[in-house]
Amino acid sequence: MGLIDYFRSSRRGKGSASVAKERLQILVAHDRAARDRPSYLPKLKQEILDVIRKYVQVDMDAVSVNYEQEGDQEVLELNIVLPDSAGPA
Amino acid sequence: MARIIVITSGKGGVGKTTTAAAMAMGLAQRGHRTVVIDFDVGLRNLDLIMGCERRVVYDFVNVINGEANLNQALIRDKRCDGLFVLPASQTRDKDALSTEGVGKVLEELSKGHDYIVCDSPAGIEHGATMAMYYADDAVVVTNPEVSSVRDSDRMLGILSSKSRRAEQNEEPIREHLLLTRYAPERVARGEMLSVDDVQEILSLKLLGVIPDSQAVLNASNAGNPVILDKNTDAGQAYDDMVSRYLGEELPMRFLEPEKKGLFNRLFGG
Ligand SMILES: Nc1ncnc2c1ncn2[C@@H]1O[C@H](COP(=O)(O)OP(=O)(O)O)[C@@H](O)[C@H]1O
Ligand SMILES: [Mg+2]
């Protein structure tokens, strides 16, 4: 192995563990958030959507449900975007 | 009352059985009455690592089903007083371990022992959940490698939700990180996650770091828990780990690459 190859491979090496660490940090944060989320969220979202659609015609993505845990408080954030001309359906 | 320790991991092949054997032997060598149980139904291996495979008559499932009593099934270790092995069954019935059945056996063992070490199968299936259900302590065995670290984190989620302690709102299982198959040279070259990296991601109490070592293979070839090989790196690292578990404060060893002499550097590669 030539000197240049040696330096190149050792630099690539440096990359691989730090890349692994970055990927893991994101992945683990993601896994943890998903784990702590109550399993009823998708159903809750669907039912809210159904109720809204009784009155206003909206898209699937008009309703977003966000769940967060802050200390020992659980915060359920509900966001509904009504269309511009939100009249009775 | 015995303290129940589960040796667990999400991923397979990371060193759980090696660790269970070493830890049980280490505890027994310090005078604690210890039993080590193989929960890997269908894939039993602990008996081999403990070197008692030819003395297995009855197994864990036989005891649960009332086909044998504990005294008949427990194998007494010939090297160390106060150490017993309860082998796993070779049955293909993965559901042979019931929560009730396991609970009863652990309760009975609890009377005559100080520590019960549970060697868990990998994954989150039945055998693994049974091994952790009654635990007081968990040793999460992890390799410095992405999938192992991720799976360990998942295991932490399960430990904190699907155990007796969680269900009964008791003090949670004490979780410990054991990093195994650590290769300091590769860490130094930036090719392997370091202890600090893994600890930062999992934020767990570090119980020990076991180097990747030929000594482990030698020990398993011979059927001797590696902790008995006191002059090897892995043997010493396991010995430190047991002491730390029992409350001693010891610095981590074998974290730095071995310093090679000039001769080695020139000719040894
Ligand atoms: N520290 C180590 N150094 C080298 N090899 C190891 C080490 N720990 C475990 N091994 C090897 O890895 C393999 C899996 O180990 P084992 O303890 O059976 O893992 P598990 O029970 O998690 O499946 C075995 O071949 C074992 O010899
Ligand atoms: Mg195993």
Q: Kindly report, residue by residue over A69-85, the tens digit of the pLDDT.
A: 778 888 888 898 988 76
Q: Kindly report, residue by residue over B24-37, the tens digit of the pLDDT.
A: 999 999 999 999 99
What pTM, to 2 d.p., does this model score? 0.85
> Is residue A18 in a domain?
no
Report CA torsion sign: B143, B148, B154, B155. Answer: negative
Distance B7 CA to ligand 1 centre (A): 13
Q: What is B21-86 written as a DSSP string?
A: HHHHHHHHHTT--EEEEE--TTS--HHHHHT-GGG--S-HHHHHTTSS-HHHHPEEPSSSTTEEEE
Quote the number of domains for chain A. 1
Q: B197 and A28 in contact by Cβ < 8 A?
A: no
Distance B14 CA to ligand 1 centre (A): 6
List beta partners, residue A78.
A65
What fold does the segment set B3-250 form as a domain?
Rossmann fold (3.40.50)
- SS3 of A64-83: the string is EEEEEEECCEEEEEEEECCC
Please name the residue of chain B whose CA is at the shortest distance from the CA of residue A31: B154
What does DSSP assign to residue A8?
H
> Is residue A39 in a domain?
yes
What does DSSP assign to residue B232?
S
| In chain A, residues 8-27 whose CB comes closer than 8 Å to chain B | 10, 13-18, 20-21, 23-25, 27
Q: A10 and B194 in contact by Cβ < 8 A?
A: no
Nearest to B85 by CA among B121, B40, B52, B61: B52
Distance A82 CA to ligand 1 centre (A): 58
Q: Kindly report, residue by residue over B57-113, the tens digit of the pLDDT.
A: 999 999 999 999 999 999 999 999 999 999 998 877 778 899 999 999 999 999 999
Instruction: Write down the pLDDT at residue B89.
Output: 86
Residue tagged 């994954």 (tokens) = B123
Domain span holding position A66: 23-81
What is the distance between the alpha carbons of residues B233 and B211, in angstroms, rounded to a whole number? 7
Instruction: Write down the pLDDT at residue B94.
Output: 73
Interface check for B150 against chain A (CB to CB < 8 A): the answer is yes
What is the distance between the alpha carbons of residues A40 and A84, in angstroms, rounded to a whole number? 30
What is the distance between the alpha carbons of residues B233 and B250, in angstroms, rounded to a whole number? 15
Probe ligand 1: pick from B8, B18, B36, max atoms within 8 Å of CB?
Answer: B18
A13: nearest CB among B146, B191, B202: B191
CATH number for position A65: 3.30.1070.10
> Is residue A30 in a domain?
yes
Q: A13 and B189 in contact by Cβ < 8 A?
A: yes
b/e code B183-211 from CB counts within 10 Å (16+ = b): bbebbebbbbbbbebbbebbebebbbbbb
What is the distance between the alpha carbons of residues B8 and B173, in angstroms, rounded to a whole number? 13
Torsion of CA A34, A36, A40, A45, to 10 degrees: -60
What is the distance between the alpha carbons of residues A61 and B47, in angstroms, rounded to a whole number? 56
Instruction: Write down the pLDDT at residue A6.
Output: 52
